[in-house]
Amino acid sequence: MMKYYTPTEDEFFNGFEYIENEITKVYHNRILGIENLKIKYLDVEDILKLGFTLEENKDGVYKFNKMFFGESPSFYELIFKLEDRTLTLNEVNQFKTTNLFLNFHLKNISELKWILNRYGIL
């Protein structure tokens, strides 16, 4: 499975991580030419870097948890299918499981950070 891809211009937003000349950089306003840039596909290590704990790996389907404390001790459950890079995110507490998004296709860590920030998880 490929580890990197060449981005398109529409992927860039403030905070987007990219690699130029083997150095990871963060996009803020503009880039001159993207043909020499590469983006790392989302992988297990990226999710671990965001504070999730790997709970299970079964046939390329990874299950992660991240604790938080609301009205009762709860956690976020993130299920990542490496083959097609799809994610399902659930909020779980002692009373119920709430699906936040299902089979969401994300290509890289920047997109995952953007989504998790919108849900107040990061």
For the segment 38-70, what is each residue's pLDDT rounded down to a tens digit?
Answer: 888 999 999 999 999 999 999 989 999 888 766
pLDDT greater than 80 at residue 101: no
101 and 55 inside one domain = yes
Q: Given this model, what pLDDT does residue 67 score?
A: 83
Q: In terms of residue numbers, what domain contains 52?
A: 42-122
Backbone angles phi, psi at 5, to 5 degrees: -145, 165
Same domain for 59 and 103, yes or no, is: yes
Amino acid code (one letter) for 84: D
Residue 95 to residues 14, 72, 98, 118, 122, Cα–Cα distance (Å): 38, 9, 10, 24, 23
For residues 59-88, average pLDDT: 85
Look at the chain and report how many structural domains it folds into. 2
Is residue 34 located within the same domain as residue 47?
A: no
Task: Enter the pTM of the model.
Answer: 0.77
Domain match, 62 and 27 both:
no
